[in-house]
Amino acid sequence: MDQDSHCTGERELLEAVSRITTSSTTSTSDEEENQPKAEISCQERKENPEKDDTQDSSATLSPNSSMTTKELQEYWRNEKRQCKQIKLLFEIPSTRIVEHNLSKYVMYKIIILQTGSFDSNKSVIERRYSDFEKLHRNLLEEFSEEMEDVTFPKKTLTGNFTEEIINERKLAFKDYLRLLYSMKYIRRSKKFIDFLTRPELQEAYGCLRGGQYTKALEILLEVIGLQERLTRGNPVAIVPTLCAIVVCHKDLENPASAFEYGEKALSRLRVHTSHRYYIPLLDTMITLAYELGKDFLSLQEKLEEWKTKKDPIRVFTLKELAVREYVR
């Protein structure tokens, strides 16, 4: 490659990086505090540096610095990778009819996949017609304008359990979920996220309160992946679930696994030290680190630093906090 071609290549890379950097700094309107978000974008990373663990490292790189062509290429790849949206795909492959006491209803099996690559961690949940109906009613209250043209399959007086009606509703509910997810404010809303995760979380926390830690852990580990994808731009949202996993592993005498999930939770609270889970989690992590022979002095320093800044208050243990979640 001659010198002119080489310079042209560098200029093109510089322009590409500049376009990405410029788009990433575009301002947007503020959203409600702690509102769950289902995607991550360059724009959100620049406005909310605490929401991206890679922000500190990437911020030191500037496309206008004296980078080599190879460094520019790597920078461009990283930026593009971080700006890529996470998209979910909804499928309803099957149903089952449930008869319980005097009631009879259809359960729809919903598979949630991440598009763009092979997804080995698909999420599987079940919901009935009344669950969808409640979601639709709740969304109409909050997003009347966005929901104006969204149709919902009506109940029929007869034939609700015929194969024809069930198949029609399978397709209708699949299209319904895809349409809701395509609307930014709805897919980020608590009501939509609760529809997809709350029943499983309620069951898991019920098991935890009843001392059924193995069953609780099994459910929590299934739901955490979906919860992460749905709240991609709000990492703090999954801290309670991560801490519940810590509690389960700890009570099942799996300190190494408990410490692993505790580190994940702490990384999401690094700039949220006033969060109600921060101090109980730190205290638990110090105990686990000591038990595992790990360095606990840095954790102890953070705890002491917090205590010097805050007035003495009643602090619940991590387990006490966990059992209070999803109490009806």
Determine the pLDDT at residue 105.
Answer: 93
Give the residue-averaged pLDDT of 208-221: 97
Tokens 């349409």, residue? 179
Q: What pLDDT sits at residue 92?
A: 96
Structure tokens at 64: 């206008």
Provide the pLDDT confidence category of residue 219 given band limits of 50, 70 and 90. very high
Q: What is the pLDDT of residue 318?
A: 96
Residues 283-293, mean pLDDT to the nearest whole number: 96
In sequence order, the 6+-apart residues with CB closer than 8 A to the CB of 282 are 266, 299, 302, 303, 306
The domains of the chain, with CATH numbers, are 88-188 (3.30.1520.10), 202-324 (1.25.40.10)
pLDDT (0 to 100) of residue 183? 94
Question: Would you state the pLDDT for residue 156?
Answer: 79
Most trustworthy range by pLDDT among 62-76, 144-158, 187-201: 187-201
pLDDT surpassing 80 at residue 64: no
Mean per-residue pLDDT, 143-160 = 87
Can you tell me the mean pLDDT for 311-320?
Answer: 82
Check residues 69 and 273 and name the one with the higher pLDDT.
273
Chain segment 74-121, per-residue pLDDT in tens: 655 554 544 455 689 999 999 999 998 888 999 999 999 988 666 567
Q: Which of 196-205, 217-226, 310-319 has the lowest mean pLDDT?
A: 310-319
How many whole angstroms separate alpha carbon 52 and alpha carbon 121?
22
72 and 10 Cβ atoms separated by less than 8 Å: yes
Judge whether 267 and 243 are in contact, CB under 8 Å. no
Residue 308: predicted pLDDT: 81
Burial 123-148 (b: 16+ CB within 10 A, else e): bebbbebebbeebbebbeeebeebbe
Check residue 273 and report its DSSP letter.
Answer: T
Which is more confidently placed, 25 or 242? 242
CA distances for 230 relative to 81, 140, 186, 190, 280, angstroms: 18, 20, 11, 10, 26
Task: State the Cα angle at 250 between 278 and 271, rounded to 5°.
Answer: 15
Tally the C-alpha atoms within 13 A of residue 299's C-alpha that lie toward its C-beta.
21
Q: Where are the beta strands (DSSP E) in the chain?
A: 88-100, 103-114, 123-128
CA dihedral sign, ordered 245, 251, 253, 258: positive
pTM beyond 0.75: the answer is no
